[in-house]
Chain A
Amino acid sequence: MRVGRISSILGGTAALAFALSACGTADVGGGGGDGGNGGETITIGVKYDQPGLGLLEGDAPVGFDVDVATYIAGELGYEPDQIEWTEAASANRESFLQQGTVDMVVATYSITDERRQVVDFAGPYYVAQQDILVAADNEDIQGPEDLEGKVLCSASGSRSAHNIVDDMGIDAELREAGNYSECLELLGNGTVDAVTTDNTILAGFAAQNPEDFRMVNNPFGEEKYGVGLPEGSTERCEEVNAAIAKMWEESVATQALEDAFGATDFAYEESAPETEDCE
């Protein structure tokens, strides 16, 4: 009797768990990519946590990367309602492409030689640079050299702050936060003096509260944002490059940048970047 009761409780829990895990695709909001079928729909990986670039707004992401991806998909013959969005966090972009979880990644994905070993890149569609974001009333910090003795916020896993402290030898104190929205919270409260990373990312956050934050607009370095494709997609890469060129010619790109960052003093690039050859 007792045995029966207990095992039925355990059994019930197990059944419930398996039922839940069967339907639990572990996505917030938007689509759960069901693989690259190319025919009916296209699955695109974008960021869900970067305002201005790719930010989950309820059920679908919005931002510059999302606009670029939508345009490219359109040029490839997919209507916006044929696009399935998936969150591509920095850590899983390569594996998503290699396994075919997504057909394309447009997620502040910098083209590097290391990544070219495992995936293909089209583009770049935009060249970002590293910059510094400070509180709106801060006039002291005009460039990296002014960070001497200041407190700088870095998001865990990001190299940006180390570029300044280690590579440029500037003696700033680092406060590490979990992500950039925590950094912005710390900056808004005056706990840190500055936040540094790609200027596109900073501008996206600044655009949310334009009266609170100021971009220093003294950029350095370069991050070429490419469209990540599975290895060996040379043909698709050429098509994407053509789409990117057309997007800049038709001023769709500048319009998307204006939509995303117009509210800030971010001086974004207004000309098409030089595309690289497909392998």
Chain B
Amino acid sequence: MEAFLSNIDRVVDGFSWTVRLTLVSALLSFVLGILLTAMRASPVPLLRGLATSYVEGVRNTPLTLVLLFCGLGLNSALGLSMADSVAMDVFWWAVIGLSAYTACFVSESLRAGINTIPLGQVEAARSLGLTFTQNLRLIVIPQALRTVVGPLGSVLIALTKNTTVASVAGLGVQEASREMKLMFDQGIAPVLPTFVGFAIGFLILTLPTGYFFGWLSKRVAVVR
């Protein structure tokens, strides 16, 4: 354990990338997820079709491939650069890939949340003359969000763990699991303590998130 602790700066460094990836991707995927959900419920058939195909396609593709497409396809083959330094460039492309992927799950949860809203709510809104966007913005999304706080928490936990894939797939972000693998390979510290240390790191990130969202979902639940 001492050998592991003496390398604690590398561990902290790895987790700092994990946390940054998680937070930025969470925000972006939330926004993107709401947009996708709005498109899927919209009166324009083309928008519905596009959004549905996107969600169905991307969520059935392994994340590794989504990130590979971002790293080797958009970033490299199309020559789109997000930042000057390599480290930030791959970071942003990892964020884009993770968000594009996670947004599908945000959208699926929200759509399910919308399905729980009593029909009377939207009918009342329509009879008051609310337009589609007003209906969505004032009636549907606020209620749907409150019902899906729990599932969104699961999506966030999933995202936290999924950031590990950004260490491979043509991007090589130096997040925590990559540091762990390097420490295994370079024989810096014994394997078991290293693994346990990194596992505790991830549990510190995921367990409180789960409990917080569980608490929140109870607090904001719509009583029907």
Contact = CB atoms under 8 A, between A and B. Distances in A.
A80 interface: no
A249 interface: no
A178 interface: yes
Given A175-B172, A186-B170, A191 B85 contact: no
Interface string A177-210: 1100010011001110000000000000000000
A189 B172 CA distance: 17
A191 B72 CA distance: 9
Contacts of B168: 156, 178
A186 B172 contact: no
B185 interface: yes
B90 A175 contact: yes
Interface string B9-44: 000000000000000000000000000000000000
Interface string B61-75: 000000000001001
B200 interface: no
Given A173-B86, A175-B86, A189 B77 contact: yes
Contacts of B77: 185, 189
Nearest to A172: B86
B120 interface: no
Given A189-B76, A191-B75, A191-B76, A156 B172 contact: yes
Contacts of A157: 181, 185
A156 B178 CA distance: 9
Contacts of B169: 178
A177 B170 contact: yes
Interface string B182-201: 00010000000000000000
A83 interface: no
B118 interface: no
Nearest to A152: B86
A174 interface: yes
A190 B170 CA distance: 14
A151 interface: yes
A191 B167 CA distance: 18
Given A189-B79, A191-B75, A173 B172 contact: no
A174 B86 CA distance: 7
B86 A186 contact: no
Contacts of B90: 175
A151 B167 CA distance: 18
Among B86, B90, B167, B169, chain A packs the most CB atoms within 10 A around the CB of: B86
A177 B93 CA distance: 14
Contact of B76 (A173, A174, A178, A186): A186
A273 B75 CA distance: 43
Interface in B153-183: 167-172, 178, 181
A176 interface: yes
A175 B167 CA distance: 11
A190 B87 CA distance: 16
A67 to B, nearest CB: 30
B185 A186 contact: no
B79 A182 contact: no
Interface string A137-167: 0000000000000010000110000000000
Interface in B72-115: 72, 75-77, 79, 85-87, 90
B86 A182 contact: no
B79 A178 contact: no
A151 B86 contact: yes
B25 to A, nearest CB: 20
Given A157-B185, A189-B79, A173 B85 contact: yes
Among B75, B77, B172, chain A packs the most CB atoms within 10 A around the CB of: B172
A191 B77 CA distance: 8
Contacts of A174: 86, 172
Interface string A50-81: 00000000000000000000000000000000
A134 to B, nearest CB: 16
Contacts of B75: 191
Contact of B79 (A156, A175, A190): A190
Interface of A: 151, 156-157, 173-178, 182, 185-186, 189-191
Given A182-B72, A182-B170, 18 more contacts: A156-B172, A156-B178, A173-B85, A173-B86, A173-B87, A175-B86, A175-B90, A176-B172, A177-B170, A177-B172, A178-B170, A185-B72, A185-B77, A189-B76, A190-B79, A191-B75, A191-B76, A191-B79
Interface of B: 72, 75-77, 79, 85-87, 90, 167-172, 178, 181, 185
6 contacts: A157-B181, A173-B86, A174-B172, A175-B86, A189-B76, A191-B76
